[in-house]
């Protein structure tokens, strides 16, 4: 039997080596754990769906390979006066420049889907930036327009990629309803999948080189329109500012609201600004909450009693985004500064209030007495107030 003996110095060296190795292992372990934790907490999502109340949906087509069915798809869209968004790769632009020109000249949107149809997850940032810029240059050359939306091929991405894409000024957009046209040759099931899955703010996924898509698309468009959906370009469905994206990829409109007074609902339209201040002063908090579900016609019906003609006109003509901005400010103001029965002059005596003036220039909010506006026929107020937002 061989017996090894060690001096005290050798034992100390071994002990120190072991401790150093253990310390290094712990550092690596904590670094990995911290990275995983940070990744879970800071996970970034592209837009899968938009929280909207105006029934807009986005027809989107990923174009990475052939263009065999593109003309049929464009004809179907044209016949139905429907708009769509085509996410194209740079390689598709190289192979089918005329198809890209047709998409753009028909009034559709052409957006970025990388240059070489690559998996962007784990991709080197410099390589990703170069790839996206290359595709953008090709799109710009063919359409004369700068792409503003980006779709990750194969739905594949990570936080680093999303951060890079957003840093380049793009809004990353995926989809919430997949037609599965690449996998399913049955036009009926493709149609049903879209028809059953679509909701207001949906982003619908198709591919341009699928015969089943070309076959199913006319009926899909018909059914969506029958359900009251407006088929819009993706950039007209997603919000470009003042939004959050929740953990499910649902984009929600969230305007920045300052607690400083006076309350400003609309900087562009004094009549709209005045209208929403009157709503705050006349409705209770529950009635204000309930406005979120009544639609534009219902909103006009609920507030026409205490608004003048110019204020009602401003409400009817405002875009969906303008109304949402005003409404979110209204909720914030009502919850924090009072509304309806909770409003008191004593509490807010130093707060400058936004008021509408009548023709004589006198303020109309100096009294709680309600005066019926001089409408010839209340039916005229709501007659043409069907939402027509852009």
Strands (E), 174-217: 177-178, 203-207
Q: What CATH superfamily classification does 49-253 receive?
A: Glycoside hydrolase/deacetylase (3.20.20.370)
Whole-number CA gyration radius for the chain: 29
**β-pair type (85-88, 56-63):** parallel
Domain boundaries, the chain: 1-42, 49-253, 270-383
Q: What is the pLDDT of residue 25?
A: 58
Helix axes 97-105, 70-79, angle to 10 degrees: 10
Q: What is the reported pLDDT for 202?
A: 97
41 has pLDDT over 80: no
Q: What is the pLDDT of residues 290-337, one digit of tens each?
A: 888 877 778 888 888 889 999 999 999 999 889 999 999 998 888 777
pTM: 0.62
d(Cα 225, Cα 237) in Å, to the nearest integer? 16
What pLDDT, in 10s, does the model give residues 18-27?
Answer: 665 665 555 4
Q: How confident is the model at residue 5 (pLDDT cuts 50, 70, 90)?
A: low
Residue 372 confidence (pLDDT) above 60: no
Least confident of 200-214, 231-245, 368-382: 368-382
- Give burial (CB, 10 Å; 0-12/13-18/19+) of 157: buried
373 pLDDT band, cuts 50/70/90, is very low
How is residue 27 written in tokens?
């550092």
Instruction: Give me the sheet containing 250-253, strands edge to edge.
Output: 49-50, 250-253, 243-245
- Model confidence at 215: pLDDT above 90: yes
CB distance 140 to 146 below 8 Å: yes
Per the listing, tokens 């994206």 go with 245
Would you say 168 and 131 are in contact if contact means Cβ atoms under 8 Å apart? no
Reported as a single tens digit per residue, the pLDDT across 43-102 is 899 999 998 888 999 999 999 999 999 999 999 999 999 999 999 999 999 999 999 999
Mean pLDDT of 234-239: 95
Assess whether pLDDT exceeds 90 at residue 231: yes
Reading the block at residue 342, the tokens are 């909770």
pLDDT tens digits, residue range 307-320?
A: 999 999 999 999 98
- Tell me what pLDDT residue 345 has: 37
Q: Spell out the long-range contacts of 383-389 with Cβ–Cβ below 8 A and sequence spacing 24 or more.
A: 384/316, 385/296, 385/297, 385/300, 385/316, 386/296, 386/297, 387/54, 387/295, 387/296, 387/297, 387/320, 389/54, 389/318, 389/319, 389/320, 389/321, 389/323
What pLDDT was estimated at residue 9? Answer: 64
**Per DSSP, what are the bridge partners of residue 59?**
204
* pLDDT reading at 389 higher than 80: no
* pLDDT of 147 above 50: yes
Residue 194 contacts residue 177 (beta carbons within 8 Å)? yes
Alpha carbons 309 and 292: distance in angstroms, whole number: 22
What is the pLDDT averaged over residues 171-197? 96
pLDDT of the residue at 8: 64
Residue 52 is predicted with a pLDDT of 87
Inform me whether the pLDDT recorded for 153 exceeds 50.
Answer: yes
**Which position has the higher pLDDT, 255 or 375?**
255
For the stretch 102-115, pLDDT in tens is 999 999 999 999 99
pLDDT at residue number 261: 55
Average pLDDT taken over every residue of the chain: 81
Q: Which pLDDT value is given to residue 22?
A: 65
Q: Which helix (H) or strand (E) holds 86?
A: strand 85-88
Q: How many residues does the chain have?
A: 390
| pLDDT above 90: percentage of residues in the chain | 56
- Long-range (24+ apart) CB contacts under 8 A made by 196-200 are 198/57, 198/224, 198/227, 198/229, 199/49, 199/57, 200/52, 200/53, 200/54, 200/55, 200/56, 200/57, 200/229
CA distance 203 to 249: 11
């Amino acid at each position: 039997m061989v017996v090894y003996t060690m001096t005290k110095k050798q034992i100390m060296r071994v002990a120190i080596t072991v401790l150093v190795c253990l310390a290094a292992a712990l550092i690596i372990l904590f670094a990995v754990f911290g990275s995983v934790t940070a990744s879970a907490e800071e996970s970034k999502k592209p837009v899968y769906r938009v929280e909207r109340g105006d029934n807009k949906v986005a027809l989107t087509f990923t174009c990475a390979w052939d263009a065999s069915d593109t003309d049929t798809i464009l004809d179907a869209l044209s016949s139905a006066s429907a708009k769509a968004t085509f996410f194209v790769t740079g390689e598709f632009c190289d192979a089918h420049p005329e198809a890209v020109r047709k998409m753009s000249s028909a009034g559709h949107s052409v957006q970025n889907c990388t240059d070489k149809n690559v998996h962007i997850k784990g991709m080197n940032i410099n390589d990703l930036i170069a790839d996206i810029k290359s595709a953008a240059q090709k799109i710009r050359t063919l359409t004369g327009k700068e792409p503003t939306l980006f779709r990750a091929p194969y739905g594949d991405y990570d936080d680093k990629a999303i951060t890079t894409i957003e840093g380049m000024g793009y809004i990353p957009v995926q989809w919430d309803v997949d037609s599965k046209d690449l996998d399913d040759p049955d036009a009926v099931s493709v149609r049903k999948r879209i028809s059953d899955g679509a909701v207001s703010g949906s982003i619908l996924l198709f591919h341009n080189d699928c015969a089943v898509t070309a076959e199913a698309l006319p009926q899909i468009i018909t059914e969506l329109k029958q359900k009251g959906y407006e088929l819009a370009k993706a950039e007209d469905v997603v919000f470009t500012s003042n939004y959050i994206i929740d953990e499910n990829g649902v984009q929600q409109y969230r305007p920045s609201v300052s607690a400083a007074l006076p309350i400003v609902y609309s900087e562009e339209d004094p009549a709209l600004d005045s209208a929403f201040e009157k709503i705050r002063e006349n409705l209770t908090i529950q009635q204000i909450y309930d406005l979120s579900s009544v639609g534009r016609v219902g909103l006009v019906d609920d507030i026409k009693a205490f608004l003048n003609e110019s204020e009602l006109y401003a409400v009817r003509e405002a875009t969906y985004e303008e109304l949402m901005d005003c409404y979110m400010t209204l909720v914030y103001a009502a919850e924090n500064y009072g509304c309806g029965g909770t409003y008191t002059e004593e509490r807010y005596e130093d707060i400058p209030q936004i008021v509408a003036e009548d023709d004589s220039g006198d303020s109309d909010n100096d009294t709680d007495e309600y005066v019926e506006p001089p409408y010839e026929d209340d039916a005229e107020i709501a007659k043409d107030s069907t939402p027509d937002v852009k």
